[in-house]
Amino acid sequence: MSTWTAGLIILIVKLAVVLVVLLLLAAYLVYAERRLLARLQIRLGPNRAGPWGLLQPLADIIKLLTKEDTVPAGADRPIFLLAPAVVAGTALLIFAVVPFGAGWQWQGRPIPGVISDLNVGLLYVFALSSLGVYGVALGGWASNSKYSLLGGIRGAAQMISYELALGLSLAPVVMAAGSFSLVDIVQAQANYPFLLTQPLSFLLFLISGMAEIKRIPFDIPEAENELVAGYHTEYSGMRFGLYFLGEYVTMVVLGGLVAVFFLGGWRGPWLPPLVWFFVKVGAMVLVMIWIRAALPRLRYDQLMMFCWKFLIPLALLNIMAVGGLLLWARA
Amino acid sequence: MTLYAAIFYLLGLVTVAATVLAITRSNLVHAVVYLVISFFGTAMLFYLLGAPFVALLEVIIYAGAIMVLFLFIIMMLRLEEHRQNGGALVRRWLPALVLAGVALGSLILLIIAAPGSANLLPAAAASPLEFGRALYQRHWFAVEVVSFLLLVALVGALYLGRREAETLIASPKEEP
List the domain range (segments joined by +) for residue A36: 24-59
Own/partner long-range contacts of A287-292 (Cβ < 8 Å, ≥24 apart)? A288/A210, A288/A215, A288/A251, A288/A254, A288/A255, A289/A32, A289/A33, A289/A36, A289/A37, A290/A36, A290/A40, A291/A210, A291/A215, A291/A216, A291/A217, A292/A33, A292/A37, A292/A215, A292/A216
**Sequence-distant (≥ 6) Cβ neighbours of residue A35 within 8 angstroms:** A45, A46, A52, A53
Domain identity same for A167 and A277:
yes
Hey, are the CB atoms on B68 and A133 less than 8 Å from each other? yes
CB pairs under 8 A between A and B: 70
Number of structural domains chain A divides into? 2
Facing residue for A137 by CB, picked from B30, B71, B128: B71
Three-state DSSP class for residue A86: helix
- CB contacts of A131 in chain B (<8 Å) are 59, 63-64
Domain identity same for A112 and A50:
no
Domain identity same for A55 and A118:
no
Domain identity same for A49 and A192:
no
Facing residue for B29 by CB, picked from A118, A141, A180: A141
- CB contacts of B69 in chain A (<8 Å) are 160
CA distance A140 to A227: 11
pLDDT digits (tens, 9 = 90+) for A246-304: 889 999 999 999 988 888 878 778 878 888 888 889 999 999 888 888 888 888 888 88
- CB contacts of B72 in chain A (<8 Å) are 137, 153, 156-157, 160
CA distance B164 to B159: 9
Hey, are the CB atoms on B56 and A124 less than 8 Å from each other? yes
**What is the number of other CB atoms lying within 10 angstroms of the CB of residue A74?**
10
Chosen from A77, A81, A130 to mutate, greatest number of chain B CBs within 10 A: A130
Q: What is the CATH number of domain B1-80?
A: 1.20.120.1200
A29's enclosing H/E stretch is helix A3-40
- CB contacts of A137 in chain B (<8 Å) are 68, 71-72, 75
- Which range (A40-54, A103-117, B114-128) has the least confidence? B114-128
Domain identity same for A53 and A193:
no
CA distance A183 to A173: 13
Per domain, the residue ranges of chain B are: 1-80, 139-176
Per-residue pLDDT, B176 = 42
A4, part of any domain = no
Question: What single DSSP character describes residue A111?
Answer: E
Q: Could you tell me if A312 and A168 are in contact, meaning their C-beta atoms sit under 8 angstroms apart? A: yes
% residues pLDDT > 70 (chain A): 99
pLDDT digits (tens, 9 = 90+) for A200-209: 889 999 999 9
- CB contacts of B33 in chain A (<8 Å) are 79, 134, 138
What value does the mean pLDDT of chain A take?
A: 85
CA distance A132 to A185: 24
**What is the number of other CB atoms lying within 10 angstroms of the CB of residue B89?**
10
Per-residue pLDDT, B79 = 62
Q: Which of A240, A188, A314 is nearest to A61 (CA)?
A: A240
pLDDT, mean of residues A156-178: 87
Per-residue pLDDT, B147 = 92
Domain identity same for A224 and A130:
yes
pLDDT, mean of residues A16-41: 88
Amino acid at A85: A
% residues pLDDT > 90 (chain A): 6
**What is the number of other CB atoms lying within 10 angstroms of the CB of residue B170?**
9
- Nearest chain A alpha carbon to B64: A130
- CB contacts of A133 in chain B (<8 Å) are 64, 68
CA distance A184 to chain B (A): 14
- CB contacts of A151 in chain B (<8 Å) are none
Domain identity same for A95 and A28:
no
Q: Tell me which of A59, A78, A103 is where a domain ends.
A: A59
The tens-digit pLDDT sequence of chain B (176 residues) is 688 888 888 988 999 999 988 888 878 888 888 999 999 899 988 888 877 888 888 888 888 888 888 888 887 776 665 555 555 666 777 888 899 899 999 988 888 877 666 655 555 556 777 777 878 888 889 999 999 999 999 898 888 877 655 555 555 544 44
Hey, are the CB atoms on B72 and A120 less than 8 Å from each other? no
Per-residue pLDDT, A205 = 92
Facing residue for B59 by CB, picked from A79, A131, A153: A131
Facing residue for B56 by CB, picked from A127, A134, A160: A127
Per-residue pLDDT, B117 = 64
Domain identity same for A73 and A55:
no
Domain identity same for A89 and A191:
yes
CA distance A88 to A233: 17
pLDDT, mean of residues A174-190: 84
pLDDT, mean of residues A13-18: 86
A147 touches chain B (CB under 8 A): no
pLDDT of A100 > 50? The answer is: yes
A109, part of any domain = yes
Facing residue for B72 by CB, picked from A79, A123, A157: A157
A88, part of any domain = yes
Per-residue pLDDT, B89 = 65
Domain identity same for A205 and A111:
yes
Hey, are the CB atoms on B76 and A153 less than 8 Å from each other? yes
Per-residue pLDDT, B86 = 55
Facing residue for A119 by CB, picked from B75, B76, B127: B127
CA distance A254 to A166: 11
Helices assigned H by DSSP within A120-272: 121-142, 146-177, 182-187, 194-197, 199-212, 224-227, 237-262
pLDDT digits (tens, 9 = 90+) for B87-137: 566 677 788 889 989 999 998 888 887 766 665 555 555 677 777 787 888
Taking each helix axis as running N to C, give the angle between helix A146-177 and helix A312-330, from 0 to 180 degrees, rounded to the nearest 10: 10
Q: Could you tell me if A34 and A293 are in contact, meaning their C-beta atoms sit under 8 angstroms apart? A: no
pLDDT of A65 > 80? The answer is: yes
Domain identity same for A41 and A97:
no
Per-residue pLDDT, A233 = 81
Residues of chain B whose beta carbon is less than 8 angstroms from a beta carbon of chain A are 29-30, 33, 36, 52-53, 56-57, 59-60, 63-65, 68-69, 71-72, 75-76, 127-128
Per-residue pLDDT, B174 = 45
Hey, are the CB atoms on A120 and B71 less than 8 Å from each other? no
Cα Dmax for chain A: 67
pLDDT digits (tens, 9 = 90+) for A240-254: 888 888 889 999 999
CA distance A155 to A243: 13
- Which range (A50-64, A317-331, B101-115, B124-138) has the least confidence? B124-138
CA distance B134 to B84: 48
Domain identity same for A137 and A51:
no
CA distance A192 to chain B (A): 25
